[in-house]
């Protein structure tokens, strides 16, 4: 892998991740951009002990431009984009409209491929491996930032999810705090350890495999299952069999096996609702341990993948109970979801 950092016209960092040691990445951003101005503020909700990012500058961000004006495609003659080069493998750059910035974290965009019409599921295993390398490198780099406590690498796909750019891409958030979701997990893990002396993640994986009804796929390095209390209609959690706190700690065997497992899951997601249906909207993200939490070694790195589509043509909306009280109501039994995800396996 070859890594080449450059600076865009407004001073933001961009990094090319290339599979080989090809030519120089010396294309210059020729756009007349002014320095990025952000208005990020993080406020503490004392009643819920949550953090809320206030980022009013994001109101003006690019929203669903036509394909010939996509800012994530390579630059071409007469059309300059966020990527100065005429081609690329994988690219990461600082978000022009970040939710977090400066002393309050960092937000980056990850372009998975230059092909505007593709999706992550269309990538080869070698290319997906390069994306994993980029995610791991960004986690390692952001771990050095004094303003970053936790890194979340994720992808939103589909207008139903709320994406504002159709090009296949994801994001990396470097939060200046441990997120509420992660703190909940760590509290549960700590409580379980105090009561039993065991690790909750390890026992949960063993129980799921012994039960078998919610298993979606298994291998020597990874296991994927629908959780017993799934929040979403179709939700899969993917774990390495050897518990590690973050992407940096994965061994070579797990790295080598990941692309095949993950691509298979994404391709199954696109077949859940039958032929002729539009691509399944989803959120996919890596849950990693906060960098400085005393119990980080008890945390288990894992990827969570879910869709808000509950059946063909119908979405799962977060209405009164979910939005108002954080109590999810799932219309699809997890065992049924797992059975369907096994049925649509690649033949």
Q: Is 111 annotated as a binding residue?
A: no
Report the C-alpha gap between 269 and 267 in whole angstroms.
5
Angle at which helix 252-269 crosses helix 125-142, to 10 degrees, equals 120
Q: What are phi and psi of 196, to 5 degrees?
A: -120, -20
Would you call 169 a catalytic residue per the annotation?
yes
Q: Is 292 annotated as a binding residue?
A: no
Q: For tokens 């200046």, what's the residue?
A: 176
Q: What are phi and psi of 165, to 5 degrees?
A: -135, 130
Q: Is 63 annotated as a binding residue?
A: no
DSSP-derived secondary structure for 25-89 = ------S-PPPP---EEEEEETTTTEEEEEEGGGGGS--S--GGG-TTSBPBTTB--SB-SS--S
Q: Which residues fall within 8 angstroms of residue 27, CB to CB, at 6 or more apart?
A: 75, 84, 85, 86
Rg, C-alpha atoms of the chain: 20
Other Cβ atoms closer than 10 A to 316:
21
Active-site position among 44, 127, 169, 237: 169
Q: Is 116 annotated as a binding residue?
A: yes
- Degrees to nearest 5, angle at CA 330 with 325 and 334: 135
Which token pair is 67? 């394909």
Report the C-alpha gap between 227 and 201 in whole angstroms.
12
Binding residues for Zn(2+): 70, 73, 116, 167
Query: Any idea which residues carry the catalytic annotation?
Result: 169
């Amino acid at each position: 892998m070859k890594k080449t950092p450059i600076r865009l016209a407004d001073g933001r960092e961009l990094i090319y991740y290339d599979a080989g040691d090809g030519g120089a990445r010396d294309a210059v951003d020729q756009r007349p951009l002014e320095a990025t101005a952000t208005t990020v503020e993080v406020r503490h909700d004392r009643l819920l002990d949550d953090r809320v990012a206030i980022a009013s500058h994001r109101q003006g961000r690019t929203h669903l431009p036509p394909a010939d004006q996509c800012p994530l495609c390579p630059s071409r003659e007469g059309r300059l984009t966020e990527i100065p080069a005429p081609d690329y493998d994988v690219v990461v750059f600082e978000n022009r409209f970040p939710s977090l910035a400066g002393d309050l974290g960092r937000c980056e965009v990850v372009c998975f491929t230059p092909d505007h019409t593709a999706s992550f599921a269309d990538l080869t295993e070698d290319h997906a491996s390069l994306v994993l390398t980029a995610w791991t490198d960004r986690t390692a780099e952001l771990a050095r930032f004094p303003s970053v406590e936790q890194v979340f690498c994720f992808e939103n796909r589909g207008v139903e999810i709320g994406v504002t750019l159709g090009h296949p891409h994801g994001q990396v958030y470097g939060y200046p705090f441990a997120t509420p979701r992660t703190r909940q997990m760590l509290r549960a893990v700590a409580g379980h350890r105090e009561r039993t002396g065991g690790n909750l993640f390890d026992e949960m994986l063993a129980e799921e495999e012994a039960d078998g009804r919610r298993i979606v796929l298994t291998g020597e390095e990874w296991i994927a299952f629908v959780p017993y209390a799934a929040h979403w209609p179709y939700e899969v959690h993917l774990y390495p069999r050897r518990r590690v706190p973050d992407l940096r700690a994965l061994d070579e065997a797990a790295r080598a096996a990941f692309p095949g497992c993950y691509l298979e899951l994404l391709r199954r997601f696109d077949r859940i609702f039958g032929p002729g249906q539009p691509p399944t909207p989803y959120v996919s993200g890596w849950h990693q341990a906060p960098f400085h939490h005393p119990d980080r070694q008890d945390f288990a790195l894992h990827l969570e993948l879910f869709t808000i589509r509950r059946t063909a043509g119908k979405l799962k909306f977060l209405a009164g109970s979910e939005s108002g009280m954080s109590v999810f109501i799932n219309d699809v039994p997890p065992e049924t979801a797992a059975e369907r995800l096994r049925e649509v396996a690649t033949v």
